[in-house]
Copies of this chain bind each other. A is one copy, B any other.
Amino acid sequence: MSESTDDIEILIALMAKLPGLGPRSARRAVLHLIRKRALLLTPLADSMSQVAISARECLNCGNVGTSEICDICLDENRANGELCVVEDVGDLWAMERAAVFKGRYHVLGGTLSALDAIGPEELRIPRLADRVTAEAINEVILALNVTIDGQTTAHYIADQLQGQVKLTTLAQGVPIGGELDYLDDGTITAALRARKEI
């Protein structure tokens, strides 16, 4: 393309592969980076190189960090007997942002899926049972997405651990700030069935 030269086109093409950026916003981002070369482009390049070397999955829970065992698994204060099972690291981060859960996590790395041939062995499911015993867990909170695959996976795990440990799942209902008019029928049904006396 005549509009700029190869190095820049390559960078635009790579940036366009990021979730949330399309070809146009990638162009805008690259222009912004070139304008802020010292302040943003060079630090970002260095930071990416650093993370490419140092990022790794926690051997215990599957969280992403820069050491063999992540900060949460190393923190003895979080060994409170509660283990929260999530699909992926993004979900773990979302839980941490809410800052309400004080126990540890177990990141499955996906959901069971017959279509994609993803069975328990492809996920971090076998390790979950080991941790329940080894870490003296007394409650496993299944915080999986409320999707077909997420709920199938939750049922499978519940079957595996039944009788060994208390099993709970996140409440379903109207989200904070939610307007009934915009909610789907399933959510309204769940919220009504789980209604509470005030």
Stretch at the interface among A10-18, A134-142, A147-155: A10-18
Least Cβ–Cβ distance between A184 and chain B, in angstroms:
22
Task: Report yes or no: A72 in contact with B11, Cβ–Cβ below 8 A.
Answer: no
Task: Report yes or no: B33 in contact with A18, Cβ–Cβ below 8 A.
Answer: yes
Q: Which residue of the partner chain, among B5, B25, B51, contacts A67 with CB atoms under 8 Å?
A: B5
Residues of B within 8 A of A15 (CB): 44
Given A6-B66, A18-B33, also A48-B11 (CB < 8 A): yes
Q: Tell me whether chain A's interface is mostly helix, strand or loop, or mixed.
A: helix
The answer to whether A120 has its CB under 8 Å from any CB of chain B is no
Q: Which residue of the partner chain, among B2, B64, B67, contacts A72 with CB atoms under 8 Å?
A: B2
Task: Report yes or no: B64 in contact with A31, Cβ–Cβ below 8 A.
Answer: yes
The answer to whether A103 has its CB under 8 Å from any CB of chain B is no
The answer to whether A156 has its CB under 8 Å from any CB of chain B is no
Given A5-B71, A93-B4, A96-B3, also A40-B11 (CB < 8 A): no
Task: Report yes or no: B4 in contact with A64, Cβ–Cβ below 8 A.
Answer: yes
Question: How many A residues touch B, CB cutoff 8 Å?
Answer: 58
Residues of B within 8 A of A72 (CB): 2-3
The answer to whether A19 has its CB under 8 Å from any CB of chain B is yes
A-B contact pairs, 15 of them (CB 8 A): A3-B92, A5-B70, A5-B71, A7-B51, A8-B64, A10-B47, A18-B21, A19-B29, A31-B89, A31-B90, A34-B51, A34-B55, A41-B52, A45-B46, A45-B49
Query: Which residues of chain A have a CB within 8 Å of any CB of chain B?
Result: 1-8, 10-11, 14-15, 17-21, 25, 27-34, 37, 40-52, 54-55, 63-67, 70-72, 75, 88-90, 92-93, 96-97
Apart from A5-B70, A8-B64, A14-B40, list 10 A-B contacts with CB within 8 A.
A2-B75, A2-B96, A3-B96, A7-B47, A18-B21, A20-B25, A27-B90, A31-B90, A41-B51, A42-B48
